[in-house]
Amino acid sequence: DIVMTQSPDSLAVSLGERATISCKSSHSLLYSSNSKNYLAWHRQKPGQPPELLIYWASTRESGVPDRFSGSGSGRDFTLTISSLQAEDVAVYYCHQYYGTHWSFGQGTKVEIK
């Protein structure tokens, strides 16, 4: 099975500042036949289900603010929040849907400094 590892486990960022989360996969998530990376990012606020932010590693889901961006390819990926807002306090998960068995990073808790 594909193992997803996020870093850091938690980070505290001042309002308006940049937050960056890294995600590394044990296997390339780039499917050669369509050149797409099968990697998504989700935000989970306390007491709520996860919500899709980014898919195909860098495509923003409809309605997601443009302060969220995803980058990377193959085995290394990054989620960037360009200007942290209070409503972004949450746990963020990377998620591979390349393999038959999905897998998720352990989560990164983002807080306000």
Partner 1 sequence: EVHLVDSGGGLVQPGGSLRLSCEASGFTFTDAYMSWVRQAPGKGLEWIGRIKSESDGGTTDYAAPVKGRFTISRDDSKNTLYLQMNSLKTEDTAVYYCATAPGYWGQGTLVTVSS
**DSSP character at residue 86:** G
CA distance 46 to 15: 19
Tell me the site size for partner 1, rule CB under 8 A.
Answer: 20
Residue 98 CA to residue 34 CA, distance in Å, equals 12
Dihedral sign computed on CA atoms, order 3, 100, 39, 75:
positive
Closer residue to partner 1 (CB): 16 or 47: 47
Least separation in angstroms between residue 59's CB and partner 1 is 9
Determine contact, residues 37/74, Cβ cutoff 8 Å.
Answer: yes
Length of the chain: 113
Cβ of residue 15: shortest distance to partner 1, in angstroms? Answer: 26
> Applying CB under 8 A, does 93 fall inside the site for partner 1?
yes
- Site residues for partner 1, 8-67, by CB under 8 A, read 38, 40, 42, 49-52, 55-56
Residue 83 DSSP SS3: coil
For partner 1, give the closer residue by CB, 38 or 77. Answer: 38
Nearer to partner 1 by Cβ, of 16 and 48: the residue is 48
**53 neighbors 94 (Cβ within 8 angstroms):** no
Instruction: Supply the minimum distance, in Å, between the C-beta of residue 108 and partner 1.
Output: 10
Q: What residue ranges bind partner 1 (CB under 8 A)? A: 38, 40, 42, 49-52, 55-56, 93, 95, 97, 100-107
